[in-house]
Amino acid sequence: MTRSLTALAAIMAISLCPSLKAASQEAVATPAVQQIEGVAATVNDEPITYSDVRERAQMLLLSLGGQQPTQEQIQQLANQALEQLIDEKLQLQEATEYEVEVSDSDIADSINNLARQSGVTREELIGTLLQAGINPKSLEDQTRADIAWRRIMGGLYGSRIRISPSQISDQMKRMVSSAAKEQYQIREIFLFAPDEENKQQALEVAATLREQISNGAPFQVAAQRFSSAPTSASGGDMGWVTLDDLDQARADALSAMQGPGLTEAIVTEEGVYLLEVRGKQDPSQTTSRVDLVRLTVNDGSDEALWDAAQAATGCDSIETMAAEDENLRTVRLEDLNVADLGPEGRSMVEATEVGQSTDIFATSGTLAVMFVCDRQENVPNMPTREQLEDRLFGQQLGMISERSLRNLRREATIIRR
């Protein structure tokens, strides 16, 4: 990258220093400070400032939540932040072209959902951004671009994508054939890098992500923030795959893994992959599938949750109770593979009889229990036809979205300072 991003790394290092946090917060509140920092890039004559890049890189670091990054890692993430901002400029310019409007209430609803998924209030989320020296407008701008782009892609292509019964049947046949082979449960991060210069930058970002994830950053969050693969929306989840489902480079990397964990960076013709192996199963293995209802309490009271769980007589009963009590919330989860619940969740569900609830556990900043509604034992480890249809639709729309964005990049006038 250019020297401008080297200077940006120094600016970010200052903003990360605890003793200068107050100065960083003052910069957020003072527009004049941002104005003199200059322009890092222009996209069809629209500027992206150093402030924009610094704050986006800070958001990326904040979302990873791992160990304190080194200055080298900060620069690598700053490069990635600039590329994200370029994409968002292009997306918003396309939204203007198609007259797609995103209202303030749309953005507020999306940020409220983000806060709720993180187990905090909107005010707490905004406070966290301010404490890190990030103007909340950076999050709003990112949200606006994301909503606008999804609407454009859904409007242009969503109704055109048809997943036929024969496509689903063919996929089911391939999966039945794969059931006789060793399978791996994996997540992926893909960094698009079509040439050697971009591959070197992608390798540096992959090394940073691998270190952050190894030190506690959630892989799903990193995939959502950085991956160019269609699976990014689901946290990089590829489900269960065989070596035959992958290109040779990724297949070789999986074969070399002795157990769960992260692969090294994998270089392919189109870019760089980082894979997380979550599980492995032999061809002879079967699984259990369950229907669940998750019950949570809005006020986080374990007493209220326990009383409700004890009063319920099953799944229908607890859903009825939740509909009549504003403090209770239920979510029905159907046809789940218990292997996908993780070790702790699987252990709790397998120890619970049908019609009963699990012990209380923590989730997303509150407390919850799971009611087991139904269980099927020793079934093939395969998705349902409905799940396959959703997966195929998402894959096709995701590939169209990535291709459309790359076409916009090729046609745009992008100048990095």
**DSSP string spanning 77-134?**
HHHHHHHHHHHHHHHHHHHHHTT----HHHHHHHHHHHHHHTTS-HHHHHHHHHHTT-
Bridge partners, 273 (sequence order): 190, 266
Per-residue pLDDT of the chain (417 residues), as tens digits, is 333 333 333 333 333 333 323 333 343 343 434 444 689 999 999 999 988 988 888 888 777 765 556 677 777 778 888 988 999 999 999 999 999 999 999 999 988 887 776 667 888 888 888 887 788 888 899 999 999 999 999 998 888 888 999 998 888 787 777 666 788 889 999 998 888 888 888 898 899 889 888 888 888 888 888 888 878 878 888 888 888 889 999 999 999 998 899 999 999 988 999 999 998 877 656 678 889 999 998 888 889 999 999 999 889 999 999 999 988 989 888 878 887 787 888 889 989 999 999 999 887 667 899 999 998 887 666 677 887 888 888 888 888 988 899 899 999 999 988
**Phi and psi for 354 in degrees, rounded to 5?**
-60, 130
Torsion, Cα of 352, 118, 111, 235 (10° steps): -70
Question: 388-404 burial by CB neighbour count: b if 16+ within 10 A, else e?
Answer: bbebbeeebbbebbbeb
Task: Report yes or no: 368 and 292 within 8 Å, Cβ to Cβ.
Answer: no
Span 308-339, pLDDT tens digits? 999 998 899 999 999 999 889 898 888 788 87
- 240 CB-near residues (< 8 Å, 6+ apart): 183, 184, 185, 281, 381
Secondary structure (H, E, C), 167-219: HHHHHHHHHHHHCCCCEEEEEEEEEECCCHHHHHHHHHHHHHHHHHHHCCCCH
Domains by residue range for the chain, with CATH: 3-158 (1.10.4030.10), 180-284 (3.10.50.40), 287-379 (3.10.50)
- Predicted TM-score (pTM) of the model is 0.61
The closest alpha carbon to 28, from 137, 141, 139, 134, belongs to 134
Residue 37 has a pLDDT of 64
Q: What is the pLDDT of residue 284?
A: 54
Write out pLDDT tens, residues 75-102: 777 888 898 899 999 999 999 999 999 9
Q: What's the distance, Cα to Cα, between the start and end of the chain in Å?
A: 9
Per-position b or e across 286-311, b if 16+ CB within 10 A of its CB = ebbbbbbbbbbbeeeeeebbbebbee
pLDDT at 275: 96
> Which pLDDT score is estimated for 158?
85
Kindly state the tokens that stand for 301: 């009271």
- Amino acid occupying residue 156: L
